[in-house]
Chains A and B, each alone.
Chain A
Amino acid sequence: MEMKMEHKHSEEKKDPQKMDPESGKEKQDSGDMNHSSGDMKMDMDHSSGDMKMDMDHSSGDMKMDSGGMDHGSMGSMEMPPMLGGSPPADARDPHAYSDGYEYRGMAGFEATDMMMVNKVIADQFEYRNNKGNDTLTWDMQGWYGGDYNKLWVKFEGEDETSANAGEMELQALYSRTVAAFWDFQAGIRYDAAYGTDSPGDRAFAVIGLQGLAPYWFELEPAIFISDNGDFSARLVASYELLFTQRLILEPRAEINISASEVREYDIGSGLNDIQLDLRLRYEIRRKFAPYVGIAWSRKFGNTARLTRASGGDVDVLSLVTGIRFWF
């Protein structure tokens, strides 16, 4: 898990290690005490680590926070604190106090600050009761990586319980922390469907953002370009309302739009559909919460027309029961 960090002393003998290393380990070679000895000749190349990222991010925090920081109007004490933005020209160099010394550390140091972490979360893992057209539906995400760079996987889909039919969508993304509350994500998406009327698989390129907007709205906007060159976009927004510390209502909205018509998938151009969900969960533990809720989806415009033509529902209201879990 932990990265092996290697280190080097600065070339000049600046190391103040002239003290007599007389006392030290009894059982072990006391030479270990003298870290400036040759066996510690390791390379610490900070610049090669993926952690050396461009901190001078000028993109700021979605421009929502750093903008509007008119000091004159701050008296109301209602503005949020400063964050993000571009550092001014005279901003302090964080390394200026090192006077040429390099961070060395040595064997034994646990680089817990560089630990790789992984998380898997199923926001939806549920049974959708929908008048004879019931489905098992899931929406999961998982990531692995450090604080600033992650591999991010999104997996969602539904399976019709009364028929051998269903569809699923898998995204594999590189996710990079670009602002305090925002990740930029890019990668691929693969859609698969099965069953009698299955239109077959599709692949997409994806770019998107994921993060937390002011007022604690979780947002996930993304743009997709299919292997046929069709553009589409999706915005997912959700919010958590705490009735108690464990009883949490989560409204969620999803909007899909498409730049072009893709007949075989019953997609018209313009607004495709809106989904509005409401789930009430009880966190028995942080990582395990059963829930009930409703999910409503409505198709619009040409998408609705195409769906009707192929015998599908354009307005679906389902009762959902499921568990939200993560680890």
Chain B
Amino acid sequence: MSNSPFLPLTKRQFVKGIAAATAMASTGLFSNVSWAKADPEELTGTEFHINIGTIPVNFTGKDRIGTVANGTIPGPVLKFKEGDDITIYVTNNLNEMTTIHWHGIILDYRMDGVPGISFPGIEPGETFVHRFTAVQNGTYWYHAHTLHEQTGVYGALVIEPKEAFENERVDRDYTVVLSDWTDEDPVDVFLNLKKMGSYYNYQQQTVGDFMDDVTLMGLGKAISSRKMWQKGRMGRADFSDVSAATYTYLMNGKSPTGNWTGIAKAGEKVRLRFICAGTASFFDIRIPGLKLTVVSTDGQRVVHVDVDEFRFGPGETYDVIVEIPDDKAYTIFAQSIDRSGYARGTLSPRAGMEAKVPALDKLVLLDPIDMMGDMSRMSGDLAMGGMAMGGMQKSGLHKKPNHARTEYGPSVDMRVDFPRLNLDDPGPGLRNNGRRVLTLADLKSPFTLADDRMPTREIELHLTGNMERFIWSMDGLKLNEAKPVHFPLGERIRVILHNDTTMIHPMHLHGMWSDLESPDGGFQVRKHTIAVQPAQRISMLVTVDAEGHWAFHCHLLYHMAAGMFREVVVA
């Protein structure tokens, strides 16, 4: 990327980290904390107890305090059965308010754990009892709906189906939680970004990059390829707000050096339940040498699809099944989307074996389509006043984007007028990389929806921001400036999400499923968190059956904190 003589060194320092949060846990000041354990335990049953407290951790060589569930990062794996009545006691042993949100779980909104929306939060010393019936199965997760998510409060949640699926029989089953750790106080991370949007971005274009381009493509092209970005004051390497400059990426709480290892022997089928608990990080996952058979996303089964690699963002989960051909070690490689670092683990027949860790991919800059969208549509269907091909009136997805009047103000640094509607794009940095990369178009729910009513209304929401000022919003309005969005109880509605930024936003609707539609209007896949790509416009259907107050937000923690968040009122 850069011609800096300093960066490669720094980068190596960035990406490694040191072992896990284990060494410190039994020594020093906190040795009397009886629940400080090395690895997350697995809890099963119908009644669970979670204590949120602190432990000393050391991921980078510096002693820090983590906030954790039951003494580990990640917290315990909670396992229960579909149909069971579940009770979870969450006790706050911190000295400030915290919460736990059960991400993707269908429940009473007051059990949903969003402070200020579902309930006032759990004050220090309090225990909050969460009760719900498990009406679903699959891989989910839980996390603090506060900045404690950054400092360690998250864990896996697995709901076993009433009857096991025949085509998903495996010999081993692991949860693989990806996350990001910083030695900095999350408030400082947020403030650094507010004061300088590119604070953690050490991959900006340099004079050397320009000279390289001049050599490669000539002066004219080198200038013209930069012109629109420079003129628009947009960075072409703005993939992550927070990078390995401060992050150590973790797999099941282990840094790359710590090397989380799952035992897997020749001939075995292994299910890996990937959970993205990164607060500001997308990960690109692959296991060199193995095909990944994707069997579900966000806890919902999909038609099996074989890929080499998939990308997922904060909030999303993907279950894959791999078949181990031989008694060798295989690296689970999870690059951060900005290629500044990686998390890594190993599948091997016995502990201690390692496979080669691939080099980070070269950073591929954002493409013009990530800012301008689909320019080919300009002279196409849009010009026909929203009439799509064949003269058929399509859904709001195909209509001319209707920007809110508040998108013309200072909170918004760009608007996309010709969004990309296609779902078959793996996204910036993954296009044409020589590997078979999963796209949303590959994900197909194997079931038909019980609710197949035509939507009664369309709600168009634009994902907006100002990178330079680190203002993130929807329709140009931050949470506290906006009125809630009303979803009428009992209706089936269409929600259009239109991304007016060059970043990917994992949009998470609480309490109800997001049924993604294909561009031609068919039901594509059921999810709870949909990553909307730069300059992309997607359409999803929601069966509005969950009365109450819900959160709808970008799951990048610092975008959420900055205001890319709406309250949804279902009544």
Contact = CB atoms under 8 A, between A and B. Distances in A.
Candidate in A14, A90, A107 with the most chain B CB atoms within 10 angstroms: A107
B414 interface: yes
Interface string A258-294: 0000000000000000000000000000100000000
B402 A91 contact: yes
A214 B232 contact: yes
A159 to B, nearest CB: 28
Contact of A244 (B4, B123, B563): B4
B468 A93 contact: no
Contacts of A113: 478-480, 561-563, 565
Interface string B110-145: 110001110111110111111100000000000000
A78 B227 CA distance: 6
B181 interface: no
Interface stretch (B67-75, B249-257, B370-378, B428-436): B370-378
B120 A92 contact: no
B486 A107 contact: no
Candidate in B407, B483, B565 with the most chain A CB atoms within 10 angstroms: B483
Contact of A115 (B194, B404, B460): B194
A291 B215 CA distance: 30
Given A17-B548, A245-B202, A212 B468 contact: yes
B205 interface: yes
A68 B224 CA distance: 17
A33 B486 contact: no
Interface in A185-221: 212, 214-216
Given A103-B480, A180-B412, A214-B232, A112 B116 contact: no
Contacts of A316: none
Interface residues on B, range: 35 or more
A308 interface: no
Interface in B529-569: 547-549, 561-563, 565, 567, 569
A54 B490 CA distance: 36
**Majority DSSP secondary structure for residues of A touching B:** loop
B108 A19 contact: yes
A74 B204 contact: no
A263 B259 CA distance: 74
Interface stretch (B150-158, B165-173, B354-362, B469-477): B469-477
Given A23-B129, A113-B479, A245 B120 contact: no
B231 interface: yes
A92 B460 contact: yes
B483 A103 contact: yes
Contacts of A246: 4, 6, 202
B521 interface: no
B120 A107 contact: yes
Nearest to A34: B110
Contacts of A74: 375, 378
B39 to A, nearest CB: 29
Given A19-B547, A71-B378, A245-B202, A82 B415 contact: yes
B338 interface: no
B277 interface: no
A25 B412 contact: no
B119 A108 contact: yes
Contacts of B451: none
A101 B484 contact: yes
Given A80-B231, A115-B194, A244 B6 contact: yes
A28 B30 CA distance: 28
Interface residues of A, number: 90
A245 B204 contact: yes
B565 A78 contact: no
B129 A81 contact: no
B227 A109 contact: no
B412 A98 contact: no
A94 B405 contact: yes
B199 interface: yes
Candidate in A32, A83, A98 with the most chain B CB atoms within 10 angstroms: A83
B403 A92 contact: yes
B570 to A, nearest CB: 6
B146 interface: yes
B413 interface: yes
Given A56-B409, A245-B204, A27 B127 contact: yes
A97 B565 contact: no
B404 A117 contact: no
A32 B120 contact: yes
Given A32-B120, A106-B116, A243 B204 contact: no
A110 B570 contact: no
B375 A108 contact: no
B6 A180 contact: no
Interface string B199-228: 100111111100000000000000010011
B406 to A, nearest CB: 4
A236 to B, nearest CB: 18
A5 interface: yes
A51 B480 contact: yes
Contacts of B388: none
Interface string A281-322: 000001000000000000000000000000000000000000
B365 interface: no
Interface in B177-209: 190-192, 194-196, 199, 202-208
B199 A24 contact: no
Contacts of A33: 110, 119
B228 A77 contact: yes
Interface string A110-149: 1111110101000000000000000000000000000110
Contact of A92 (B127, B231, B405, B489): B405
B2 interface: yes
Interface string B361-396: 000000010011001001000000000000000000
B469 A147 contact: yes
Contacts of A179: 410
Nearest to A15: B571
A221 B110 CA distance: 53
A95 B474 CA distance: 11
A18 B571 CA distance: 11
A241 interface: yes
A242 B408 CA distance: 31
A30 to B, nearest CB: 10
Contact of A242 (B195, B207, B562, B563): B207
Interface string B72-94: 00000000000000000100000
A226 interface: no
Q: Which 5 interchain pairs have the tightest Cβ spacing?
A: A109-B116, A244-B4, A80-B232, A113-B563, A98-B483
Interface of B: 2-7, 89, 97, 108, 110-111, 115-117, 119-123, 125-131, 146, 190-192, 194-196, 199, 202-208, 224, 227-234, 368, 371-372, 375, 378, 402-417, 459-460, 466, 468-469, 471, 475-486, 488-489, 547-549, 561-563, 565, 567, 569-571
Given A55-B476, A77-B372, A83-B413, 5 more contacts: A26-B126, A55-B408, A244-B7, A245-B6, A247-B4
28 contacts: A5-B480, A16-B548, A18-B547, A21-B110, A23-B111, A32-B120, A56-B408, A74-B375, A76-B224, A77-B375, A80-B414, A82-B414, A82-B415, A87-B405, A92-B402, A92-B405, A102-B483, A103-B479, A108-B115, A108-B116, A108-B119, A112-B561, A117-B195, A147-B471, A148-B410, A177-B469, A214-B232, A244-B7
